[in-house]
Amino acid sequence: MSKPSIIAIDGPVAAGKSTIGRLLAQRLGYRFVDTGEMYRALTWKALKLNIDLEDEAELSQLAFSTEIEFVPLAKSNEGYCSVLLDGCDVATKIHAPEVEAGVSLVAKVAGVRRVMVERQRRLAQDGKIVMAGRDIGTTVLPHAALKVYLGASSEERARRRYQEVIERGEMADYQAILAELVRRDEIDSQRPISPLEPASDARMVDTDGLNPDQVLAEILSMMDW
- Distance between CA 134 and CA 162 in Å, rounded? 21
The CA distance from 20 to 32, in Å, is 10
Q: Is 60 strand, coil or helix?
A: helix
What pLDDT does residue 181 have? 93
Express each pLDDT in 66-124 by its tens digit: 999 988 776 545 566 788 999 999 988 998 989 989 999 999 999 999 999 999 999 99
> Alpha-carbon distance 40 to 38, whole Å?
5
Q: In the chain, which stretches have pLDDT less than 50?
A: 76
Burial readout 83-122 (b: 16 or more C-beta within 10 A, e: otherwise): bbbeeeebbeebbeeebbebbbbbbbbebbbebbbebbee
Sign of the CA dihedral running 67, 46, 162, 196:
negative
What's the pLDDT at 53?
Answer: 97
Give the residue among 195, 201, 196, 221 at the shortest CA–CA distance from 145.
Answer: 201
Bridge partners (DSSP) listed for residue 64: none
**β pairing state of 129-133 and 6-10:** parallel
**Order of all β-strands in the sheet with 88-89:** 68-72, 81-85, 88-89
- Write down the pLDDT at residue 164: 87
Coil, helix or strand for 204? strand
Output the pLDDT for position 111.
Answer: 96
Q: In whole angstroms, what is the distance from residue 125 CA to residue 151 CA? A: 27
How far apart, in Å, do the first and last CA atoms of the chain sit? 9
Q: Are strands 31-34 and 129-133 parallel, antiparallel or unpaired?
A: parallel
Length of the chain: 225
Q: What is the pLDDT of residue 193?
A: 87
pTM over 0.85: yes
Compute the radius of gyration of the chain from its Cα atoms: 17
The pLDDT assigned to 78 comes to 58
Residues in a beta bridge with 130: 7, 32
The CATH number of the domain covering residues in 6-217: 3.40.50.300
* Beta-ladder partners of 83: 70
List CB contacts of 134: < 8 A, sequence separation 6 or more: 10, 11, 12, 35, 36, 107, 188, 194, 196
108 near 187, Cβ under 8 Å? yes
**What residue segments make up the domains of the chain, in order of their start?**
6-217
pLDDT value for 208:
94
pLDDT at 199: 96
